[in-house]
Each structure stands twice: as structure tokens, then as C-alpha cells.
């Protein structure tokens, strides 16, 4: 049997492999909250991921990309994402500026039960850049839903993170394995996956903001 070289479905059908043009994109930052740095859900490599997210945010702002911040809230007094406590706060490095909407979600998919689709469409953009936490849960769910809602999606890998997870059979799946698997799945048919904000520096037609 001949073994064919590994190719994504996107490669097979000839889908574009370049990240979203900044002049056509909206940036959605998902759940960049203290729960993931200081709470019960601290993620593997989270500090570096926050730095990469901050760089991505800086790139977006410098080039006039609309930014939408997503936060997850549960019930007051809940073990995680208690909206009345400090751990639900957005991290200072990626804090919203005036005019940048903050959308509260209750489910993993940031489109579910929220105004995300309306706010994003009102920006006049057609492509969506996604980053945030956790890769296997809210990032994956939102990226998949974005495709269903008609967006072409770019996921910035190093600006996402996850954690070690029980495998349901008494073992543990390392965060790095989950991270790689989820991003691989997204890149197969649903999204362009790039490493970091530097991906846009490789595009000759990158629009330059005045900072």
C-alpha cells in the first residue's frame, strides 16, 4: 500500500493558507481572565500565552482591527468564574480600551446566547482572528461556530493555552498533547492556524497602522 503524504483537507481543496488580512479582520479574544493565571484553572504555559496575546492585541490596535473581548461568567459564589470575584477579571496585559466591547458568555461557544455575531458583523469585517483560553474548550468551540456563522477563521496558536486533563481512564493527557491535537484538528478543515503575531509580518501587503 502506498502511503500518501499528510495533507489537510484545506490543502486538498485549495483553501487559502494565509492568515486573515488585517483590513478585513476582527479580533476576538476569549476568556483572558485571571481564573487561568491565579485560580483553580491555571494553564500550562499561560504566562507566555498571555504575552503572545498582548502582542497580537497590539498588532490589531496598530492596524485598526476591531477588537472584541469575551469573558466567561458563572453564578455568584461558583467555584470558578464567579463574576463577583477578582478571578473573573480580564488580565491587565490584555485589558479592554474604551470602545472595545466586552461580551459575557455562559457557554463554551462565544456565539451561543450572546450578541457576538451581531457585534462582529457590525464591524464590517468578514474574517475573524481568534485567540485565548482554553484551546480545547472555548477557543475550539468558538472557532468552529464562527465557521458555521460564515466567518473565515485564523487561530493564533501561541496565544492559546490549555491544561493537563484526565483521560477518563485513570491517566492524564499532557497539555502539550491536547494543544497539538486540537490545533491540528482545527487546521485540517476549519481554520488557518498561525504561530503568533509575527505571521502577519510575512505578508507583503500588510496594512501598516500609524500606531
Among all residues, which ones are annotated catalytic?
31, 105, 138
| Exposure of 189 in the CB half-sphere (CA atoms within 13 A) | 3
Cell reading at 203: 505578508
- Would you call the peptide bond into 74 cis, given omega within 30 degrees of 0 as the criterion? no
Instruction: Name every residue whose Cβ is closer than 8 Å to that of residue 149 and which is 6 or more positions away in sequence.
Output: 111, 117
**Beta-sheet strand order (sheet of 127-133):** 102-105, 67-72, 25-30, 127-133, 152-161, 191-194
Cell numbers placing 49: 500565552
Which contacts of 76-85 are long-range, i.e. CB under 8 A and separated by 24 or more positions? 79/40, 80/35, 80/39, 80/40, 80/41, 81/33, 81/35
Cell of 62: 496598530
C-alpha cell, 112: 451561543
Cis ω before 108 (30° cut-off from 0)? no
Amino acid at each position: 500500500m502506498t502511503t500518501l503524504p499528510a495533507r489537510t483537507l484545506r490543502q486538498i481543496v485549495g483553501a487559502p493558507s494565509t492568515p486573515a488580512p488585517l483590513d478585513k479582520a476582527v479580533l476576538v479574544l476569549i476568556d483572558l481572565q485571571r481564573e487561568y493565571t491565579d485560580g483553580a484553572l491555571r494553564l500550562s504555559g499561560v504566562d507566555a500565552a498571555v504575552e503572545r496575546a498582548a502582542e497580537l492585541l497590539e498588532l490589531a490596535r496598530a492596524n485598526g482591527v476591531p477588537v472584541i473581548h469575551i469573558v466567561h461568567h458563572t453564578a455568584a459564589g461558583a467555584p470558578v468564574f464567579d463574576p463577583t470575584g477578582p478571578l473573573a477579571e480580564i488580565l491587565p496585559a490584555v485589558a479592554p480600551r474604551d470602545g472595545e466591547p466586552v461580551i459575557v458568555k455562559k457557554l463554551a461557544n462565544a456565539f451561543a446566547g450572546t450578541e457576538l455575531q451581531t457585534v462582529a458583523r457590525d464591524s464590517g469585517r468578514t474574517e475573524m482572528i481568534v485567540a485565548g483560553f482554553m484551546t480545547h474548550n472555548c477557543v475550539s468551540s468558538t472557532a468552529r461556530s464562527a465557521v458555521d456563522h460564515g466567518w473565515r477563521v485564523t487561530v493564533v496558536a501561541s496565544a492559546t493555552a490549555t491544561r493537563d486533563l484526565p483521560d477518563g481512564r485513570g491517566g492524564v493527557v499532557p497539555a502539550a498533547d491536547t494543544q497539538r491535537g486540537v490545533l491540528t484538528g482545527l487546521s485540517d478543515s476549519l481554520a488557518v492556524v498561525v504561530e503568533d503575531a509575527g505571521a502577519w509580518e510575512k505578508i507583503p501587503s500588510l496594512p501598516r497602522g500609524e500606531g
